[in-house]
Amino acid sequence: MTEPSFIHRFEPATDPNRPPLLLLHGTGGDENDLLGLGRTISPGSALISPRGKILENGMPRFFRRLAEGVFDEEDVKFRANELADFVAEAREAYGLEAPIAMGFSNGANIAAAMLMLRPESLAGAALLRAMVPLSNAPRADLAGKRVLMISGAMDPIIPVDNAKQLATSLSASGADVQHQMLPTGHNLSQTDLQLLVKWFAE
């Protein structure tokens, strides 16, 4: 890649049987945040970890929002396509299969938007604390794609019904969705880690 379209980190695979992971950080994170988690949940996977291009008071994100939990949906669409184009570019440059996204919060929301708008860009997704990213998304064909959603029953940012609505709409599009609701808030817990390890091993 001569001039990559996203600042990112890449780690090559050490186990060719493991799928590549696309790591998508939360608001205020960067391309370094999820590398450790990625190595733990799928040891030996290639890791691609871009930095979101939007800055909100200096905090990187993957798309603009109008308020917490209220999204600029035109920007969500534009940014999901831009990130899917980056994935295609990275696959070509590094010789990778379609990756499984692992996103937290804002990173999970852009991954959900990519599944809806550019389903070919991802082989599946682990969505941690995700919510519905687009109110009127086209019905994508997600047959054959595994999706793990882990939500927090006490998440102050994401109403439980909103997370359930996302799980239902991904299932209705044909994805093989496993939705876990933990007795926790927005932050990740030890149980998230255990569920991720188990899902990636299956």
Query: Taking contact as CB under 6 A, which single stretch among the options 31-39, 40-48, 101-109, 192-200 is the one that binds ligand MLT?
Result: 101-109
Q: Is the distance from CB of 185 to CB of 155 less than 8 angstroms?
A: yes
Q: Is 68 in the site for ligand MLT (CB under 6 A)?
A: yes
Q: Could you tell me the smallest distance in angstroms from the CB atom of residue 15 to ligand MLT?
A: 31
Question: In the annotation, is 186 catalytic?
Answer: yes
Residue 12 and residue 184: Cα distance in Å, rounded? 34
- Written as one string, the DSSP assignment of 17-38 is TSPPEEEE--TT--TTTTHHHH
Among 5, 171, 186, 189, the one annotated catalytic: 186
Q: Shortest gap between Cβ of 134 and ligand MLT (angstroms)?
A: 12
**Distance from C-alpha of 172 to C-alpha of 126, rounded to nearest angstrom:** 17
Candidates 42, 45, 49, 109: give the one binding ligand MLT (CB under 6 A): 109
Cross-strand pairs, 55:
60
Using CB under 6 A as the binding rule, whether residue 157 contacts ligand MLT is answered as yes
Query: How many angstroms separate the CA atoms of 21 and 12, rounded?
Result: 10
User: Residue numbers of the site for ligand MLT (CB under 6 A)?
Assistant: 26-27, 65, 68-69, 105-106, 109, 157
